Structure formats: C-alpha cells, structure tokens
Structure 1
Amino acid sequence: MAGIVATTVPPEVQEAEAQAAAPHAHAVSRDGQSADGFRFFTPQEAAIVVALVDTLIPKDDVGPGGVEVGVPIFIDRELAGAYGRGARMYLDGPFGQGTPQQGYQLPLPPADLYRIGIADLNAWCVETRGGKTFDELSPADRTTALKAIEAGQAEFAQVPARNFFSVLLQNTMEGYFADPMYGGNRNSAVWKMIGFPGAIGMYREVIEKYRNKRYDVEPKSIQDLS
C-alpha cells in the first residue's frame, strides 16, 4: 500500500465523501475553498474514488493525504480527457492473457476500465464484505479489501481485479506528485513535502549556483511560468 491507513476518517475525507455521494452536490471541497466538480465520475463513483484514494494515501504526520491535495480530481480530469479515451493506447485486437512484463493488455480505454472496475469492486465488496460497498467500509476494512485485490485474491465479474488496482495505484501516485495545473498536488503541497522545486528545477542557469547546495525555493507550477 502507498501509506499507513488512519484509524479514523479525517474530516476533509468525510466531507469529500458526503459531497461526492450527494445527488445534487457533485463536487469535492478542498480546505474550504471553491469546490472542484467532477466531470467524468457520477456522484456514486466519485464517492468510491475518494475512498480509494484516501485508503492508498491517507493523511499522516509525514504529509498531506491524497484527497486533500485533489488526487480524485486529477483522476477525474484525466478520465474525462484524451487519456480516458485511450488516445495513445493500442486498443485493437487480438487480446490475450499477457505476462506482468507486458503491461496493460485489455481492450478497454482507462475510462471504461474505471467505470466497470468500480462497479465490479462494489459488487465484490457487497458479496464478501457484509453487504457494504467500498465507501461504506471502515478504513481498516478498506485496506484489507485493497490488499486482497492487489494480491490477486479478489475475483471481479467483468475486469481483472489486479489490472484495475494497478491502474488506480499508478494514477493515484501520478496525481499526488503531478504539477498542480492538472488538479492534484494542490498548492504544491507534495512538492514542498519532498523538497522538489517544481518546474523551475529545469532552469539550467541556476545549476552552477546551487551545485552541491540545497535548492530551497517555493515550488513553481508550469502555470507560474506563463
């Protein structure tokens, strides 16, 4: 797993889940600022994604959680765009059972994988976790469920469970560390945590000045350079 799961659900996650699940409040509020509406996920799907991201990267003493820095919004934006449509993926057959080294081997673009995978995840949880959907589970039970999926111990009805988990984990990490202009890493909080200067790290004119020295500056997004 990408982090240690909290024993209680943080207030910002409770708020995000409630808003994602509400039929007329299809947005996630972040730190009291203007809400980011979901473009791809339905309210029910958004609630699941919020719970998934919070389980993979919960807030702890080291740094911010995935929900509070907007990772669900990052994933939503990606799926609503070219990535979600599989614009740069080979999606023509034939399709066979590939090896782990061969990577993604499904005929589904990411948007379809998420939509079907979330439905499969909920159905599996209802069947094996006392009739509860994933977002209704306790934080500890969510972790147990994801560990079973990651280990190949879960059988989804329509898509391979481990494929769904692998893409979810990859996208979650991408959103956590991405340039804030894409929806995640809000306020460059994750870059500040790891000491990464952001886009200005590419400026060659400061290489010699800071060679073998700490480059301690406020991180800059691509948008800050325009």
Structure 2
Amino acid sequence: MKKRDEPAASGGLTRRELLGSSAALLVGAAAPGAAQALTFQGTPEWKPLANVAVEPVDESAGWQFFTEEEAATVEAIVERLIPADDLSISGKEAGCAIFIDRQLAGAYGGFERLYMHGPFQDGTPEQGDQSPLTPGQRYRIGLAALDDHCRREHDARFAELEADRRDQILSQLEQEQIQLDDIDSQLFFELVLTNTMEGFFADPLYGGNRDMVSWKMLGFPGARYDYRDYIERHNEDLEFTPVSIGGRSDWQAQG
C-alpha cells in the first residue's frame, strides 16, 4: 500500500519534506564545529603548571594566621610529634607549622565548606566534634590555654620547655590528664596531631613535606602521571625521584 504525505498547506511543504530539510540543516550546522574539534583549532597552548589550582606556598611571606608567639608554640609541638631521627627530619624542619598556618588562613580555618549553624549539642564519639568552634578558633583558644597552663605549672611557655617536658605535656593532653581552659584538651591534641601528619605527608605545594622528605623516606614516587613503562617490572627498586604536583624544577623553569 502506498504511503501518503499529509496534505500540505497551500504553497507549503509536506511533513516529510519539512523533516528532510530540517535534518539537512542540522547536519550542515554541525559540520563546522566537528571539523574544529577534530583539528583542535583554537586550542590554547599548553603551559607548565597551568592546571594547578593552588599557588605554591611562599615561605618568605611570613605567618598568615599565627602570631609569632602562636607560631613558636606550634613549631614546638610539631617538633615533638614528629621528632628528628635516623629516617627523617622533624616536623618543624619539614614545615608542618607552615602547612597548618596556611590551611588555617584559608577555607579550612573557618570551615567555609561545612554547615556551621546550630543547634549544637554533644554527639557520640563516632560523630566527632560537634561544637561551633572552627579550626581557627580552636587553635587560637587551645594554644593560649596551653601556654597559660605551662606558665602556671612550669613558669614558662610551652616552647621554652625541655623536650622531655613537652613530650610529657602532650601525652597528658592526649589522655585528658590536663584540662585546658575553654576547650576540650583531647580534641585539641587530636586536631593538631592530624594536621601535623597532613603537613608531613602532603604535597610540598602546600607548605609541608619540605624537599619531599617523607616521600623519600617511604619511597613514594609522588604525582607521576604515567607508569605504563613500569607495569611489568616487578620486585625492582626503580629509584624514582619523587615529583610534586607543581612538577619538576625544569618544568618550572619553562614557565
């Protein structure tokens, strides 16, 4: 049976003719875009580090969040949380305090990406901290309270104490044997410990892990993008030099 087109309006197109002409227009309109995509016309020239969203930390800029006194206390803490030994330098030498300072000066310090409105109430241990305090506030209150405690008990600030005494105080904080004013001592200790470990093992771009010391200690190759040449090489020490997100020094020279 022969199909029929719908009657066309006077002087107009049938439905079949209209659909055919529309399809031809769509194909014709898409052709220039497809050609451009295939030939990469207009693609911007690649430049080293152009895709890095974070500016490398400039240590010469000084402290961005901590006061000089607070910074001295934090450096004294991280130096004992990660003491220097035969395997690596200390947390202070690795720049952990600088890492923490820059994080607190940024979005993390104010919990800008978290919901921070009430109601606030004590949660279960599994829920973690439920207080309205941000990390920046917790550091500011906790560091002042820690120095106040040390002045009362030892007649000196925390940073002025001998290493063994600092170890003892940190252990007491961890075990809640010391009660700091206006802040939970154990939660404060856990916050500083967590941030110290983050600074020690994070990419050097963020201020810690100076000279990729922790990566070299672990044998971690860093932010390498391609391992295809090494997939079948088992049980070998490839002796990779770690690479930061910021790239190698010869890349940076090109920028």
Query: What TM-score comes out, normalization by structure 1 length?
Result: 0.79
* Offset of residue 204 of structure 1: 4.7
Taking only the aligned residue pairs, the percentage that are identical comes to 45
Is 1:208 matched with 2:231?
Answer: yes
- In structure 2, give the amino acid aligned to 1:70: G
2:191, 2:122 → 1: CA distance?
A: 17
The equivalent position to 1:144 in structure 2, one of 165, 168, 171, is 168
- CA shift digits 1:89-136 (9 cap, x unpaired): 2322222222221112221111111011101111122223x2221111
- In structure 2, give the amino acid aligned to 1:138: E
SS in 1 for 2:159: helix
Q: In the alignment, what sits opposite 2:55? A: none
Q: In the alignment, what sits opposite 2:89? A: 64
Q: In the alignment, what sits opposite 2:242? A: 219
Higher relative contact order (CA 8 A, sep 6+): 2
Query: What TM-score comes out, normalization by structure 2 length?
Result: 0.70
Q: In the alignment, what sits opposite 1:180? A: 204
1:46, 1:189 → 2: CA distance?
A: 22
RMSD: 1.7
* Larger CA Rg, structure 1 vs 2: 2
- CA shift digits 1:138-196 (9 cap, x unpaired): 10000000000000111111111111111100000000000000000111111001100
How do 1:20-99 and structure 2 match up within 5 A?
35=60, 37-99=62-124
Unaligned runs of 5+ in 1: 1-33
1:178, 1:223 → 2: CA distance?
A: 12
2:186, 2:221 → 1: CA distance?
A: 34
2:123, 2:227 → 1: CA distance?
A: 42
Give the conservation status (yes or no) of the 8 Å contact 1:56–1:169: yes
Q: In the alignment, what sits opposite 1:162? A: 186
* Offset of residue 36 of structure 1: 5.6
2:101, 2:127 → 1: CA distance?
A: 26
Number of equivalences: 191
Give the conservation status (yes or no) of the 8 Å contact 1:49–1:72: yes
Cα gap change, 1:206/1:164 in structure 2, threshold over 3 Å: closer, same or farther?
farther
1:73, 1:108 → 2: CA distance?
A: 22
2:126, 2:114 → 1: CA distance?
A: 17
- In structure 2, give the amino acid aligned to 1:169: L
2:239, 2:233 → 1: CA distance?
A: 10
Unaligned runs of 5+ in 2: 1-58
